[in-house]
């Protein structure tokens, strides 16, 4: 069975915009997201909502409903357990504030058929009072039914030589459970060992966006003075699944700087020096 039913579905979906419900940005959601991603900065604990910082990756919370709406579209035929997040690119145009009312939209950008499966590129946009405040390009890979999960176990040849710094974080045993609750992403491969094993993984795996949140924290702490509003954009490829109990190291290097911004390359490896995030690039404003 093909991914699209009928075969004309890609054309129809490429022309369609998916609209999500409006959300109110709430302080309790922000604090829960920061806790679920091990982000203990004082800005996320402020009692006054007007002073509360918002984690840079937090807007992904408003993508989940639209992603489910798209992936369960009747014109599609997707086994969600075979879907993995391949790449993420995010641009923070205007910072969110507690009390904002935001509305998400989604468009299918492209469909690429490959031997091992299908690559879908989706664009999410978040609006506040009609003004675009946040934009994301996500790429998802849907493995063909005859292709099992085959995690990369090759040793890592670092992309970054002589990093400016390295930041280490430990994945908690309950990390994926907490992140699922805070992000609204309840895909069972992140919550249930048996389900993850049934599709070829050794155990439940951490959400890729949680690892990206870890990397964003390292970027903001190292180059952004601890201010998440200074992270203008971030992108990376999810190279390998991350499992509970692993130790992750984000390697960072500034490659370009002017009066307005810094451009930073980054990568993340696990305790075995196997890459879990690659092709990382971020822009921090002055």
Domains of the chain: 9-285 (3.10.129.10)
* pTM of the predicted structure, to 2 decimals: 0.91
| pLDDT score recorded for residue 150 | 52
Structure token pair of residue 102: 């935001």
pLDDT score, position 147: 65
> What is the per-residue pLDDT for 27?
94
Phi, psi of 36 (to 5 degrees): -70, -20
CA–CA distance, 179 with 205 (Å, rounded to integer)? 11
pLDDT of residue 146: 66
Which segments in the chain show pLDDT lower than 70?
Answer: 1-10, 146-157
pLDDT at 79 (0 to 100)? 79
Residue 136's alpha-carbon distances to 173, 236, 257, 285, in angstroms, are 29, 12, 24, 18
């Amino acid at each position: 069975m093909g991914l699209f039913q009928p075969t004309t579905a890609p054309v129809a979906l490429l022309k369609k915009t998916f609209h999500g419900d409006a959300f109110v940005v709430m302080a309790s959601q922000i604090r829960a997201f920061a806790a679920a991603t091990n982000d203990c900065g004082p800005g996320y604990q402020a009692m006054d909502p007007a002073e509360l910082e918002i984690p840079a990756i937090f807007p992904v919370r408003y993508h989940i409903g639209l992603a489910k709406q798209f992936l369960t579209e009747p014109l599609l035929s997707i086994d969600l357990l075979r879907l993995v997040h391949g790449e993420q690119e995010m641009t923070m145009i205007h910072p969110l504030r507690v009390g904002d009312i935001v509305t998400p939209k989604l468009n299918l950008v492209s469909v690429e058929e490959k031997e091992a499966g299908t690559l879908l590129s989706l664009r999410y946009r978040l609006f506040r009072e009609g003004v675009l405040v946040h934009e994301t390009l996500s790429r998802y890979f849907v493995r063909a039914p005859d292709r099992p999960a085959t995690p990369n176990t090759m040793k890592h040849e670092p992309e970054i030589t002589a990093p400016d710094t390295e930041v280490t974080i430990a994945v908690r045993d309950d990390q994926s459970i907490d992140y699922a609750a805070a992000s609204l992403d309840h895909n069972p491969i992140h919550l249930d060992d048996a389900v993850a094993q049934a599709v070829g993984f050794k155990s439940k795996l951490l959400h890729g966006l949680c690892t990206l949140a870890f990397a964003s924290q390292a970027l903001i702490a190292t180059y952004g003075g601890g201010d998440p509003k200074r992270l203008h954009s971030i992108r990376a490829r999810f190279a390998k699944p991350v499992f509970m109990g692993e130790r992750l190291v984000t390697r960072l290097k500034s490659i370009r700087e002017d009066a307005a911004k810094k451009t930073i390359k980054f990568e993340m490896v696990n305790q075995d020096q196997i890459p879990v995030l690659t092709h990382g690039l971020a822009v921090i404003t002055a």
